[in-house]
Structure 1
Amino acid sequence: MGAQQLINDYFKAFNAGQTDRMLELLHDDVEHHVNEGKIRKGKELFAQFNAHMTHCYHEQLTDLVVFSNEAGDRAAAEFVVNGTYLNTDEGLPDANGQTYCLPAGSFFSIRDGKIARVTTYYNLSDWMAQVTG
């Protein structure tokens, strides 16, 4: 499977809420670099992050564009996050079903045909403004 197909499959699983499928696409030693917070290493911490996110947010990604280098070991994606804030996330404003629409991007390293690094960026100030109205 090529890099672009791997990344497209990852986001297809995300949009379908198939977190187990997302985990299948990850290298055992995956590093998850989140926009705000510490680097999470390994599939178990990635799974815990997904469970937390599923509890607090419902998100669908649209306008996905995936890029990859010729070697197939690096990729990037640009997309729009269309979300609903379901349950209050610690340290953030109270949730009451607010919706948001946020441009974002992710960068990937690929090793042994699996995603070995996921780095995601978005504008937290923009999200905060949208959910606090």
Structure 2
Amino acid sequence: MMSGLAAALAAASSPSWAQRACAGRDLASFAEAPEAAEALVGLLLDTEDTAVTRQTAEALTRVGTVAAVRLLALAVAEADGHQADWLQTGVHDALVEPDSVPDVPAACRKLARDQDEAVRRGAAEISAWTDGTRC
């Protein structure tokens, strides 16, 4: 029997957008695991369906750890304008929930000092998205 991580990793490469979106939600809690990180960035930048991008971004934002926000920042730095819009929508969807508690702006402040310039740039963009949003 496959572990939750292994099953989610397998679903991340599914031809089904619904399975990929589910994988993004399932993998979000494993954002610190290197094997999940690569798959998550791929799902954030999914070229076939914006629902995958949006739902994965929302799940990572709900996790709200520095590791999760770092993956979002990497994706934001690589995203084209269309993908960035859906990443922003996913972040916003997670932060407007009344029971939402992640401190994404605090994670962005930590990532502003990251060694990777793309992470710093993406974190700055996410931070701008969260201005005025209850976090």
The TM-score normalised by the length of structure 1 is 0.28
Q: Which has more helix, going by share of residues? A: 2
Larger Rg, first or second structure (1 or 2): 1
Q: Which has more strand, going by share of residues? A: 1
The TM-score normalised by the length of structure 2 is 0.27
